[in-house]
Structure 1
Amino acid sequence: MLRSGITQLFRSLNANLLYPLPWLVEKFLKVMLVISERSYRSWMKQPHEAEQIVVRNIDKDIIMKVDTSKAMGAAFYWMGFHELNEWRFLNRFLKSDMVFIDIGANQGEFSLFAAKRLTQGRVLAFEPVDFFYDLLQENIGYNHFKNIETFHYGLSNEVKQLPIYMGQTGAGEHEGLATIFQSDQRARFIQNIELKILDEQLPALALQRIDFMKIDVEGAEMLVLKGALKTIERFKPLIMLEINEATYQAAGYTVPDVIQFFSDLGYTLYIMTKSGTLKPVSSTPAFCNAVFVPKGK
């Protein structure tokens, strides 16, 4: 009971950091953030049995079922988020009538965050792994969102089925690392997944706009981009992409390949600051969440 009360307090306080605050209040809350982060890291150093918990105050009022023995689930349980800078940026950027595409939706944290803000817009969430798709659906149901459409397949540059892999199961497992590119670190077969091409699905989706795309597919980013080229050229959305040199190499391409793809389309690379703003960079980090912005936006 004591742990439950402490984590609930941490989540409640940390949620305020997503919003504009007086300077002194923000300073105090950042101290509490550090304490909650240290508590989370201490928790992750110890083995824990799988524990499914429904938490009700992520981003103040978003409800999610999480597994506190897993890396992302424990982050939401202890801190109320997994990627604070990204959420701070999205809270500033998203407007109520926008369309948000979540490619690699996992358990749905970005889809839920966007849906809360897009009261007159749409969220399209793509997740091919059965377990995560079911959890995504469950989390949408908890929040009664009617503006999220889910698709039980992944996106690529070819229509096909492929096996997907994760690391060894157990305490501390990171549930966001499923990949179609098998390696020594990710060798555990999960299932075969279905892949489709976004450009080919576009007519059925009946979209008049796309404002933001989030792509986190553990090495398959370039395949997704190639299969969405016409869509990107047509709508010119901002695109948040995980830059990960290691997963790109496992997939057979490089970070410069991705940069060149966007450069050819007139996009500029930015990274997100702690305050939720965008900052241009002169050199690309080996690992980060980057935002690619088209010229004129």
Structure 2
Amino acid sequence: MHICDYPPIYVDLRTDHARFLLRGEPWPAPPREQAEQTVMRRLVRPGDVAFDIGANVGLHSVLLSRLVGPTGHVAAFEPNAALVPNLRRTLRPLGNASLFDCALSDDVGPAQFFVPADNMKASLANWTDRAADGEAREVTCQRARLDDLPAAGAVPQPDFIKCDVEGAELLVFRGARRLLDRPDAPIVLFEINGHTAAGFGLDPMEAKNFLEHFELPEYAFYQVRADGSLLRLGTSNPWSNVLAVPRSRLAELSELGAPVVNAG
């Protein structure tokens, strides 16, 4: 599959998502999540280390690879075994990306993983609507804690994290306390979704609240709007993409041209 000037992205034509993507090929712009990609283009720099947590087919991984350049690195995390072979084929030629076929969480070892017909909704919780999405297949995946990986030499400390894991964002953050609670913490782009959070029995704001309690980074939170501009996040917004920026990097929002809109 070809999207604007990105490297080729390989997909499985047996899936509805892949067929949707191919119907619009070649895409002049990313077919999904353009606002998130606008944020990445503004904030990810050459030489950065970027994590794509919940990489799916690699749409964001290939962009991040281009943004960090030959001196940077991208670590892509994807637990859906059905996506891994094509994702590996997509990432291999990039030269600056590695793939981890596991679900990041706050525990390690095997876990149930639920895969509906739309593989973009696959999750550690069976959160989808059976009537609308069909019966989710239950498979087994391996879990890992993000904090364990830098210590093992598997990945370096990141500068930027994109995390879209269908409701498991809080679990990812719980397993990454050491990596996130530090003055030089990464910028984190993540999703708040009331439906997916409910699948885990969580309030949708819990992932944001968890990051907010870290003392060292002093995260500020912004809602990513449809045009890629940023709006200071209120106390309750169960449906948004959120950018968490540590105090040490707040100046970059203006320096790199990321427009911030004041609420009100």
TM tier, smaller: 0.7 to 0.9
Could you tell me how far apart the structure 1 residues matched to 2:178 and 2:198 are?
A: 25
| 2:204 counterpart of 1:260 | no
Q: Report the aligned-residue RMSD.
A: 2.2
Per the alignment, residue 43 of structure 2 pairs with 93
Aligned length: 235
Could you tell me which residue of structure 1 aligns to residue 254 of structure 2?
none
**Structure 1: 5+ residue stretches without partners:** 1-54
Q: How does 1:161-172 map to 2 (within 5 A)?
A: 161-167=110-116, 169=117
Contact 1:216 1:242 in 2 (8 A): yes
The 2-side partners of 1:184 and 1:93 are apart by: 32
Residues 153 and 193 in structure 1, CA contact (< 8 A), matched pair in contact too: yes
What pairs up with 1:1-297 in 2 under 5 angstroms? 55-56=1-2, 58-66=3-11, 67=13, 70-71=16-17, 74-75=20-21, 77-78=23-24, 79=27, 80-81=29-30, 82-119=32-69, 120-141=71-92, 144-167=93-116, 169=117, 174-183=118-127, 185=129, 187-205=135-153, 209-234=157-182, 235-265=184-214, 266-297=218-249
Q: Go from structure 1 to structure 2 and tell me whether the alpha carbon gap of 1:279 and 1:183 turns closer, same or farther (over 3 Å shift).
A: closer
What TM-score, normalized by structure 1, do the two folds share? 0.72
- What SS does structure 1 have at the residue aligned with 2:120? coil
8 Å contact kept, 1:68–1:74: no
Instruction: Write the deviation string for residues 175-220 of structure 1: whole angstroms up to 9, x where unpaired.
Output: 2110121246264224200001111122123655411111111111
Larger Rg: 1 or 2?
A: 1
Higher helix share: 1
**Is the deviation greater in 79-88 or in 200-209?**
200-209
Deviations 1:119-161 (A, max 9, x none): 11010111112111112111124xx201001111111111121
Q: Counterparts of 1:135 and 1:257 in 2: how far apart (Å)? A: 33
In the alignment, is the contact (CA less than 8 A) between 2:157 and 2:179 conserved in 1?
A: no
Distance in 1 of aligned mates of 2:34 and 2:242:
14
Partner Cα separation in structure 2 for residue 157 and residue 236 of structure 1? 18
> Contact between 1:68 and 1:77, CA under 8 Å: does it hold in 2?
no
The whole-number CA distance in structure 2 between the counterparts of 1:71 and 1:226 is 30
Cα distance in 2 for partners of 1:208, 1:137 equals: 20
Percent identity, please: 25
Taking structure 1 as reference, are residues 72 and 293 closer, same or farther at Cα in structure 2, changes over 3 Å only?
farther
Contact 1:268 1:293 in 2 (8 A): yes
2:260 corresponds in structure 1 to: none
Gap change, CA 1:160 and 1:69, over 3 Å in 2: closer
**Residue 208 and residue 151 in structure 1: after superposition, are their counterparts in 2 closer, same or farther (change >3 A)?**
closer
Which structure carries more relative contact order (alpha carbon 8 Å, separation 6+)?
2
Verify the 8 A CA contact 2:222 2:230 in the aligned structure 1: yes
Structure 1 counterpart of 2:169, one-letter code? E
Change (3 A) 1:240 1:179: same
Q: TM-score, normalised by structure 2?
A: 0.81
Distance 1:230 1:72, change over 3 A: farther
